Amino acid sequence: MKSFKDKVAVITGAGSGIGRYLSILLAKDGANIVVCDVNEDTLNETIEMLSQYNVSVSSHVLDVANKGDIEALPGKVIEHYGKIDLVFNNAGVATGGHFKDLDEEYWDWVMGVNLHGVVNSTRAFIPHMIDRPEAAIINTSSIFGMVAAPGHTVYHATKFAVRGFTEGLALEMAVTNPNLQIHCVHPGHIGTNIASSAKMSEETINTVIEERNNLNFTRNNPTSLEEIGIQFKDGGMHPSKAANIILNGVRKNKSRILVGLDAKLLDLSQRLFPKHYHKTWILFMPLMLLFRDKKPLKSLD
């Protein structure tokens, strides 16, 4: 898909981070925008930011984990715009702690949003997109859908699954409906609110803080989940840059979109050392920290 002008783009998780900047950059390129989020306040902030662009914007407060919400969405978009060209299944959440300590409630929450949200949305939108002359579904996995680290079992379960689901779907569509592009996105560390929005028990928060501080990740050891969230946001690539990389990947029809040097190096580590990749990370760490692109995209100034 060479241009987003006059396209209709649906973005889930548009109230923050990568989803917010996907919406802004798409609007800047002349697409009409359908923003969705479970958080009405932050969604309204995004809508306010979109008001400077001369495109149509509509919004839906919904929970992607709620099958009814997601199944009703394509009909509403069609009613408003008469077509759907792009769907970014971007909404995502995280929790922390080791599997043995993880409450099932948090496991189910992450599975519901990160995996079932993506699959149910894809199922609901496909019938409205397969006959478009050109269209794209963009599912967000993670570099944690390619490599595993301790403390993220449910996140890995969802992101590895999104990758498998999306790659399988891409192969199917390439045969039956090549006009519908299917993309899987694998961001590295992007400076967003995902860590501060993570949910976990008080006990788990304390364990996560203790483990982090033992590893000496940062100069200032965090003492709360809030501080971890701030350090996470400050330490990653700016989400506008991540959104720009994703949109370039869609323009070039790249089925796998790696976002950031860290994502590329971690991907390389698992290709070179499929069983022992985590042992190589100590070598990559300085490079990953040195070349993190924290400044916003220049064209947004």
Q: State yes or no: is 81 an active-site residue.
A: no
120 touching ligand NAD, by CB under 6 A: no
243 touching ligand NAD, by CB under 6 A: no
Q: Which of 3-11, 95-103, 172-180, 186-194 is the region at the interface with ligand NAD (rule: CB under 6 A)?
A: 186-194
260 touching ligand NAD, by CB under 6 A: no
Residue 179 or 196 having the CB closest to ligand NAD: 196
Q: Which of 78-86, 90-98, 146-154, 175-183 is the region at the interface with ligand NAD (rule: CB under 6 A)?
A: 90-98
Residue 33 φ then ψ, to 5°: -115, 135
What is the rounded distance in angstroms from the CA atom of residue 101 to the CA atom of residue 91? Answer: 25
3-state secondary structure of 31: coil
Residue 102 C-beta: closest distance to ligand NAD, Å: 17
What is the rounded distance in angstroms from the CA atom of residue 72 to the CA atom of residue 58? Answer: 15
Residue 5 or 233 having the CB closest to ligand NAD: 233
In angstroms, how far is CA 139 from the centroid of its own chain?
A: 8
| Residue 187 in tokens | 């961001």
74 touching ligand NAD, by CB under 6 A: no
Phi-psi category of residue 41: left, alpha or beta, with phi > 0 → left and psi -120 to 50 → alpha: alpha
Residue 140 φ then ψ, to 5°: -95, 115
151 touching ligand NAD, by CB under 6 A: no
Task: Provide the residue count of the chain.
Answer: 301
Size of the site for ligand NAD (CB under 6 A): 30
Q: Which residue among 18, 110, 124, 225 contacts ligand NAD (CB under 6 A)? A: 18
Q: Which residue has the tokens 């509509």?
A: 58
Residue 175 C-beta: closest distance to ligand NAD, Å: 28
- Comparing C-alpha atoms, which of 26, 5, 91, 93 is closest to residue 246? 26
Residue 193 or 204 having the CB closest to ligand NAD: 193
What is the rounded distance in angstroms from the CA atom of residue 39 to the CA atom of residue 15? Answer: 7
What does each C-alpha distance from 3 to 120, 140, 165, 240 come to in angstroms? Answer: 27, 21, 26, 19
113 touching ligand NAD, by CB under 6 A: yes
147 touching ligand NAD, by CB under 6 A: no
140 touching ligand NAD, by CB under 6 A: yes
95 touching ligand NAD, by CB under 6 A: no
Q: Which residues are catalytic?
A: 155
